[in-house]
Amino acid sequence: MAETQDVREWLDGLDAPLRGRVEELAQVVREADPRLEQSIKWGRLTFTVEGNWHHWLCGIAATKKGVKLIFHKGALLEDPHDLLLGSGRHLREVPADAAMRQAGAVAGLVREAIAHQCDMPE
């Protein structure tokens, strides 16, 4: 997956430790499926397939508090490893530290998010 200008500029705006964490987490996400596309949407590095940004899959948010992986429809995902946090109607998140410790489980969540890309939570 080629890094686009918007992604490079967004990454360049992060301090070195934060950028390194984002890049590590992004690699885990990208390895889950070769069809993934990435762009900067909604102030974060965001992933989808087939150009469907309305039904984006997940994104990586980087703030002063740290880095986290956010699943757009995380409420639909099975989470046998108890990685997903949150109680909102749709979004769930995984702190970067937990995601990196269980990269295989995160890849599974990404693949499941692809399978549920156009589903709507009740």
Task: Convert the pLDDT of each residue in 108-119 to its tens digit.
Answer: 999 999 999 998
Q: Which of the four pLDDT bands, split at 50, 70 and 90, describes residue 38?
A: very high
Residue 1's pLDDT is what?
61
C-alpha span between 101 and 69 (Å, rounded): 13
Residues 6+ apart with CB under 8 A from 48: 36, 37, 55, 56, 57, 117
pLDDT tens-digit readout, 66-77: 999 999 999 999
Q: Which of the four pLDDT bands, split at 50, 70 and 90, describes residue 64?
A: confident
| Extended beta strands in the chain, E state | 37-41, 44-48, 58-63, 66-71, 92-95
Q: Which of the four pLDDT bands, split at 50, 70 and 90, describes residue 122?
A: low
Q: Could you tell me what percent of the chain has a pLDDT over 70?
A: 96
Q: Is 56 left (phi over 0), alpha (psi -120 to 50) or beta?
A: beta
Residue 101's pLDDT is what?
97
Task: Count the neighbouring beta carbons within 10 Å of the beta carbon of residue 9.
Answer: 10
Alpha carbon separation from 45 to 28, 72, 78, 90, 107 (Å, rounded): 13, 13, 23, 18, 16
Q: Set out the domains of the chain in order of their start, with CATH numbers.
A: 5-115 (3.90.1150.200)
Predicted TM-score (pTM) of this structure: 0.92
